[in-house]
Amino acid sequence: MIDVKLIVEKPEEVKKALKKKLWDFDPSKVIELDKKRKELIKQTEANKAEQNKLSALVPQYKKEGKDPKEIFTKVKELASKNKEGEVELKKVEKEIFDIVAELPNLPDDDLLSGGKENNKVIKEVNQKPNFKFKIKDHVELAKSLGLVDYDRAAKISGEGTWIYTDEGAELEWALINYFISTHLKNGYHFILPPHMLNEESGFGAGQFPKFKNAVFHVEGNNKFLLPTAETALVNFHRNEILKESDLPRKYFAYTPCYRQEAGSYRTEERGMIRGYQFNKVEIVQYTTEEGSDKAFEEMINVASGLVEKLGLHFRLSKLAAADCSHSMARTTDIEVYLPSIGIYKEVSSASNARSYQARRTMARYKDKDGKTHYCHTLNASGLATSRLFPAILEQFQQEDGSVIIPEVLRPFMGGKTKLTPKKK
RNA sequence: GGAGACGUACCCAAGUGGUUGAAGGGGUUAGUUUCGAAAACUAAUAGGAGGUGCAAGCCUCGCCGGGGUUCAAAUCCCUGCGUCUCCGCCA
């Protein structure tokens, strides 16, 4: 959430920054409402103060045997006036909230404005594979290697889903274990959160109210399935005040991610590139205001280090303002190469939300002087498997149809080095 | 799922309509004492949100959240959330 004060005090700056996110915002309405709000507060509070003073006299009157009737009528009058003021105030506050709660985060100054077309590749890592034979795509490979069963998934669940089978399940689980063991080594706290979260959590992370229809809602209990573990982790310290010495706090969680992706399929996204459910390990940090830039770099390194050690060819992209997520001030994507379609697909998004999420969750910290500040929150996938799995199959496929297992995964697969095609 | 109890500050806890910005403990911090510590004693210790002001300060709201009753609510009523106990069911 953007600070209302900032909108009122520097409306042009806010407007300009949002423009970079291709977001048209007219601050005048908020300014006007805020003015009204302050007036209402002054009025009702003055009445309240008088009301309190009068009420406090009652016991004294009684003690002295005086009749407090006169006070009663006066206070009653004030009370009903206050009631009106309060109702009006709440209305105005809600109007402000409804506007501001939908606004995206302000992008950092150094970002280019506009969307995808202005993203900048800042680094390419590991050699791009060069095949001397006709390559297969990951769907074909997964089938011939017996790793994934799409047909039975359609049978037991529906379209947009898949089943990992046998060595496919082993490979998937090995990836997750590899991530987990790395994050543990790096001192992140391991969290396994519930997958059904409440409305407040959706609001805190910035998914609600704007993206309410992008998640699966659970019928009958007002909860939703988390679209990413970020939603859980960013709400972990909701309504808390941490000590500055506790920061940075580093967490990671493994959860499936549940997303309504209806209608968003493209032909390039067959197989497991986009589905209703995929596995992801997510890392999140809570930092001080000053600490978030450093944490951001660290998290990019953590995430890209994971891909690098897998030996996959990938690149880093600094996203333009409008391609950053709604809640984020800056984002760097890690995109892995898929040879079959010759394009790069996101396996991780590392973002700095600055205080945007913390304002929503009221996650704060106290500095040495006892002053409270909003935390900064950052998140990065570390990593999502559903893009890596295809990339591993495609990038490491051999002419005979087998696939070499990346070395870092072998300890988690009983030492296996290779996946070989299964006979029908 | 059925029955019941409870939710007060960092923690425990008193408080059932009125000078309660909330007794009392514990803890924490500072001091006295001590060579130092322990113990004892003394003192301080409501966090937070908002308004106003250059500031000191002042004001409003805060006893889980929301609503209501009343001249007046931590205290009464309704509701949501949460915790605990017993019974049932169960991985």
Between A365 and A286, whose confidence is greater?
Answer: A286
Domain identity same for A83 and A127 = no
Which residues, listed in sequence order, are joined to residue A240 by a DSSP beta bridge?
Answer: A363
Domain end residue (candidates: A42, A72, A100) = A100
Domain identity same for A56 and A124 = no
CATH number of the domain bearing residue A240: 3.30.930.10
> Considering the entire predicted model, what is its pTM?
0.91
Domain identity same for A381 and A413 = yes
Rounded, the Å distance between the CA of A223 and C1' of B22 is: 37
Q: Is A14 inside a domain boundary?
A: yes
Rounded, the Å distance between the CA of A228 and C1' of B58 is: 47
CATH number of the domain bearing residue A65: 1.10.287.40
Domain identity same for A302 and A255 = yes
Domain identity same for A82 and A137 = no
pLDDT > 90: percent of chain A: 71
Rounded, the Å distance between the CA of A79 and C1' of B73 is: 15
Q: Please say whether the beta carbons of A29 and A11 come within 8 A.
A: no
Rounded, the Å distance between the CA of A194 and C1' of B76 is: 38
Between A210 and A328, whose confidence is greater?
Answer: A328
Domain identity same for A83 and A220 = no
Among A28-32, A103-107, A272-276, A320-324, the least confident range:
A272-276
Rounded, the Å distance between the CA of A254 and C1' of B28 is: 38
Q: Is A105 inside a domain boundary?
A: no
Per residue in A260-286, pLDDT (tens digit) is 875 555 666 677 777 899 999 999 999
Domain identity same for A156 and A12 = no
Per residue in A157-193, pLDDT (tens digit) is 988 889 999 999 999 999 999 999 999 999 999 999 9
Q: Is A300 inside a domain boundary?
A: yes
**pLDDT tier at A245 (50, 70, 90 boundaries)?**
confident
Q: pLDDT at position A100, please?
A: 93
Which nucleotide has the least CA–C1' distance to A4? B50
Checking if the pLDDT of A343 tops 90, the result is yes
Which nucleotide has the least CA–C1' distance to A47? B60
Q: Please say whether the beta carbons of A394 and A342 come within 8 A.
A: no
Residues present in chain A in total: 424
Domain identity same for A10 and A76 = yes
Domain identity same for A89 and A159 = no
Which nucleotide has the least CA–C1' distance to A69? B71
Q: Please say whether the beta carbons of A179 and A383 come within 8 A.
A: yes
Which nucleotide has the least CA–C1' distance to A42? B51
Per residue in A328-342, pLDDT (tens digit) is 999 999 999 999 999
Q: What does the angle CA A34 – CA A40 – CA A43 come to, to the nearest 5 degrees?
A: 145
Rounded, the Å distance between the CA of A5 and C1' of B49 is: 15
Nucleotides of strand B within 7 Å of the protein's CB atoms: 18-19, 47-52, 59-61, 67, 70-72
Q: pLDDT at position A109, please?
A: 95
Between A262 and A375, whose confidence is greater?
Answer: A375
Q: Which residues are within 7 Å of strand B by their Cβ atom?
A: A 38, 41-42, 44-46, 48-49, 52-53, 55-56, 58-60, 62-63, 68, 71-72, 75-76, 79, 90, 241, 364, 366, 372
Which nucleotide has the least CA–C1' distance to A56? B19
Cβ-count burial A394-411 (b if 16+ within 10 Å, e if not): bbbbeeeebbebbebbee
Checking if the pLDDT of A149 tops 90, the result is yes
Domain identity same for A122 and A9 = no
Mean pLDDT, range A303-310, rounded to an integer: 98
**pLDDT tier at A246 (50, 70, 90 boundaries)?**
confident
Strand order in the sheet with A372-374: A240-243, A363-366, A372-374
Q: Is A218 inside a domain boundary?
A: yes
Mean pLDDT, range A68-80, rounded to an integer: 84
Rounded, the Å distance between the CA of A125 and C1' of B1 is: 57
Domain end residue (candidates: A66, A100, A134) = A100
Q: pLDDT at position A422, please?
A: 85
* Domain span including residue A137: 116-419
Spatial distance between the Cα atoms of A48 and A60, rounded to a whole number of angstroms: 20
Rounded, the Å distance between the CA of A134 and C1' of B36 is: 81
Domain end residue (candidates: A53, A71, A100) = A100
Q: Is A106 inside a domain boundary?
A: no
Rounded, the Å distance between the CA of A187 and C1' of B30 is: 36
Q: pLDDT at position A424, please?
A: 63
Domain identity same for A96 and A176 = no
Q: Is A188 inside a domain boundary?
A: yes
Number of domains in chain A: 2
Q: pLDDT at position A368, please?
A: 76
Q: Is A285 inside a domain boundary?
A: yes
Q: Is A396 inside a domain boundary?
A: yes
Domain identity same for A270 and A380 = yes
Checking if the pLDDT of A298 tops 60, the result is yes
10 Å CB burial of residue A98 (0-12, 13-18, 19+) is exposed
Checking if the pLDDT of A66 tops 90, the result is no
Q: pLDDT at position A268, please?
A: 65
User: Measuring CA to CA, how many Å separate A250 from each of A240, A285, A298?
Assistant: 16, 5, 11
Nearest CA to A197 out of A215, A220, A224 is that of A224
Look over chain A and give the mean of its residue pLDDT values, rounded to a whole number: 91
